[in-house]
Each structure stands twice: as structure tokens, then as C-alpha cells.
Amino acid sequence: MELIKIHETAFEGDETILCASPINANEWVMLVNSGRVIRYKASESSSKTVFNVKSMVSYSDGGFDLSAPSSIYIMDPVIVVVNDFKRHGVLSYPDKYHTIHFSREDYHADISRYPIALFKDEAGTPHLIYSAAWNHLQIMDLDTRRVLTAAKSLITENAEEEHIQFYTQFPEDNKLPWPAPYDYFFGQLIMSPDNKKFLSRGWAWGSSDAYNVYDVADFINNSRISFKNIGYWEHSNRPACWIDNTTVAVTYYPFEDEERDLSLGNSTQLHFYDVGQNKPTITKRLIFDGFEGMFSELYYCKKFDALISLHNEKGLIICNMKGEILLKDEFFKPGSFSPELNLFITVNNKSVCVHKLDSIL
């Protein structure tokens, strides 16, 4: 396994690059510190300003914060730029309209990444899933800008029946209104490979990681919230990713989490969950030797049937599905990786470097 550099581009001028994300092996999108979002084509050394995240509208918190960490999400030609741990995001769909601004409530927004995802339905229509509040997601048809979940209740399925059953155990009266609203903090959203489900790396009071899986069609059509909970663990923003349409891998820390498998020792592990069942169940446990799970990002690369970990300090680690290290580079610290394109992008103030992953024959 090796990294191959396919582009390294330096840019002149006063602007610095804050983050970048690939469209393909020859083209990427950059956010610069002036607020411009730029589409750059390496083969032609050409750039085009798509939009600016700065707004003429005044917001109480100042709006989009260019000094805060941000991410770019792309489903060409749709481009979304968000503040990772703040409130604001901007979407551009050049074939249809210029920009849409969206935001979430300022209630513990700093705990988890802005909940957002892009997907296309079976007809090829682009959709956006985005957070309106800590416990509230919306899904928008981007062709029509119609919010398909506008009338969705923030109450779970069978909330009334579960409330009545729960309080048969207690003699005292419950004085709170019921059923209670959905008590869950959505986190980073990750679409399944078939775009029919999404995973939320969210959390619940405790404070604990609470990772849930939602069915897209059900989320749109059901007025109540239905989900499958993978598990609750010590709050560490643990990395997770989809392996296939029914399998999710989640990082597990034996030294923190209540469930302990002593046969695997105290090494950081990956637990693979079958989420196709009514109740997600662990089907496999894997020791990822040398893997530093906390505060890293985890990806599955289908082309090489490999797991990829990116860490701000530990760098890059790639292992196969047996947990064997295929590549380790503590000095390689890209800002983002696209498992679909098999591309890494590294940003350094005024330059962008693109690498692809390849196998050594």
C-alpha cells in the first residue's frame, strides 16, 4: 500500500486556504479566509468563485465564522460549507439557484459536528439532510427547495404507550407533560452506501455517545421519529463508518467502556454491528493495532477492503479487515479523505496537495 501524489498546487495572493474537498482527481473546492468558495481545476490551472459564505444578513452570533474549523461537502454540482462545531452553513446549487443559508440552534452546538448529509433518491434528485436544532433534523428536496419533513413531530413512535407502561412501575404521579419531545443530540451524519439510511454520531445526556441509524424513507414519511440505537458508551466522539449497507463499524475503548472482552486485552477495538436486524448486534470484534481512536476520523475504502484512520497528531493508519497494518505514516495529516474517490487532500495555507491510495504489486 502506498500514497501517490497526483497534484501539488501553490496559490499566490493574500488569501489563505482554510479547507478543501475533492470533486474528482483533477478538481477540488476550497474555502479561503476571505469567505470565497472556489472551484479549482488542476489540469487547466483555472479557478472560479462559486459563492461567498459571508452574508449581508446580520446574525446575533456573527454568522459564519471563518476563524473556526469548517468542512466542505460535495455532490456535484451541489456544494455545502459548514462550521463544524458552530451554527451556520451555506449551500450552492449552481444549476438551480445561487445559495441557501441554514443554521441550527445554539444549544451545545460545540459538542458534535454539524449534522449534515447529501444524497440522491432513486430518481436522481439531490437532497440535503441538515440540523435545525439539537434534536431536530430536516430533509430538503434541493430541486424544489421543499422541506419534506416540515410537519414532522419531534416525538418517537409509541411514545404514549411506552410512557404509560413505564409509569406502571411507580406509585407517584408524573407531573410533566407527556409524551416527551425527542431527547437526543444529533451529531455528524454519514449516509449508507445505498443512500437509504443514515448514521448519526450523536449523544445523550450522561454524557454518552449515542449512535443511531435512521431509515431515510421512514424519516420523510413517518410523522414520528423511528430509529435503531447501536449503543451508548462513554462520551468520546468515537469514530464510526459504514462498511456496507447493513454494517457499521464503531470504535470501542476497553479502558473506558463498561463492556469488556478480556480476551482482546485493553487495545482499542472496532466493533462491527449488523444494523439490518431490529436490534443492532455485534457480529465481529477487531483489534486495530496501533490505532488511536479518539479524536480521529474513520473511513472504509471498498476498493482495498481496508479501514483508514486519520488523526491530527497520529497521522494516517490503514489496516485490513484482519486488523493488520498496511500503511502507517505519522507525518501524513490530510485535512480530508474521500473513500468514494480514494483521494486525500492536504491544505497548507497557500497550497493544496492531492494524494491517491494505491497498492504495491
Residue 353: beta bridge partners? Answer: 8, 346
pLDDT given for residue 271 in this prediction: 93
**What's the pLDDT tens digit per position in 178-201?**
899 999 999 999 999 999 999 999
CA distances (Å), origin 148, targets 21, 115, 117, 217, 260? 28, 17, 15, 11, 42
pLDDT in tens, 268-327: 789 999 999 899 999 999 887 666 666 689 999 999 999 999 988 888 999 899 888 899
Q: Is the pLDDT of residue 169 over 80?
A: yes
In whole angstroms, what is the distance from residue 89 CA to residue 82 CA?
A: 4
Secondary structure tally for the chain: helices H, strands E: 2, 28
Least confident of 144-148, 227-231, 264-268, 325-329: 264-268
pLDDT of residue 262: 47
HSE at residue 177, side-chain half, CA atoms within 13 A, is 3
C-alpha dihedral, 70 to 86 to 187 to 79, nearest 10°: -40
The three grid cell numbers given for residue 230, joined into one nine-digit string = 447501536
- What is the distance between the alpha carbons of residues 290 and 156, in angstroms, rounded to a whole number? 40
**Mean pLDDT across 231-255:** 89
Those residues with Cβ within 8 angstroms of residue 143's Cβ, 6 or more apart along the chain or in another chain = 96, 125, 126
Q: What is the pLDDT of residues 103-113, one digit of tens each?
A: 999 999 999 89
Q: How far is CA 290 from CA 125, 329, 359, in A?
A: 42, 12, 21
Residue 247's nearest CA partner among 271, 269, 214 is 271
The answer to whether 58 touches 48, Cβ cutoff 8 Å, is no
Question: pTM score, two decimals?
Answer: 0.94
The pLDDT-based confidence of 36 (bands split at 50, 70, 90) is: very high
In single-letter form, the type of residue at position 156 comes to T
Q: How many of the other CB atoms lie within 10 Å of CB of 251?
A: 25
